[in-house]
C-alpha cells in the first residue's frame, strides 16, 4: 500500500474516528478505501467494456474482417486481399480442409477475369455474403 493511501493519525485520534482502521502501528487508513478502489475499478471496467463493444460494432458495420476470424467450415464468404499496385482484389471463396492440415486452404474465385484471381489463394480479409434478394417487388 502506498504512503499516499495511509493517513497518519495518533492512536487517540483514530479511536475517535470510526471511519479509520489501523493498518500498521501508528498508521490508519480510511475504512472505505477498499470500497473506493472497487468502485473505481468497476467504472474503468464498464468504460473498457463499452469501448470494446463500440469497436466490435464499428468492425461489424465496416464489413471487412481479418481472415483469421473467418468461418473454417466450408461456408462461402466474400474474400479480399490488397495487392498493392493491382489494388484490392475481391472475390468469393470458402475454406477447405482442416486448419493446419497439409492439404487445406482457401478455394476462391475473383469477381473479374484473371488476373482478378491474383492473390485470392491467400486472402487477408473477409465479409459475410449479403442476404439474397427477395422475389417480391418492393412497394
- Count of CB atoms within 10 A of residue 7's CB? 16
For 71, phi then psi, to 5°, come to: -65, 140
Sheet holding 20-24, edge to edge: 7-8, 27-30, 20-24
- For 77, the grid coordinates are 464468404
Report the share of the chain in percent with pLDDT over 70.
Answer: 66
| Domain residue spans of the chain | 3-62, 65-127
Q: Are 6 and 23 in contact (CB under 8 A)?
A: yes
What is the Cα–Cα distance from 64 to 132, expressed in whole angstroms?
19
Q: Would the pTM count as exceeding 0.75?
A: no
pLDDT, tens digit, 9 for 90 and up, residues 118-137: 667 788 889 998 888 887 76
For residue 67, count other CB atoms closer than 10 A to its CB: 17
Contacts of 59 (CB under 8 A, 6+ apart): 65
pLDDT at 76 over 70: yes
Amino acid at each position: 500500500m502506498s504512503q499516499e493511501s495511509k493517513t497518519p493519525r495518533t492512536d487517540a485520534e483514530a479511536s475517535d474516528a470510526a471511519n479509520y482502521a489501523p493498518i500498521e502501528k501508528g498508521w490508519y487508513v480510511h475504512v472505505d478505501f477498499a470500497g473506493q478502489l472497487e468502485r473505481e475499478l468497476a467504472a474503468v471496467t464498464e468504460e473498457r467494456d463499452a469501448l470494446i463493444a463500440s469497436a466490435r460494432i464499428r468492425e461489424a458495420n465496416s464489413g471487412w474482417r481479418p481472415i483469421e476470424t473467418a468461418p473454417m467450415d466450408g461456408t462461402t464468404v466474400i474474400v479480399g486481399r490488397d495487392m498493392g499496385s493491382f489494388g484490392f482484389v475481391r472475390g468469393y471463396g470458402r475454406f477447405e480442409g482442416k486448419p493446419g492440415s497439409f492439404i487445406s486452404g482457401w478455394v476462391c474465385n475473383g469477381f473479374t477475369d484473371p488476373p482478378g484471381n491474383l492473390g485470392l489463394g491467400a486472402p487477408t480479409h473477409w465479409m459475410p455474403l449479403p442476404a439474397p434478394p427477395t422475389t417480391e417487388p418492393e412497394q
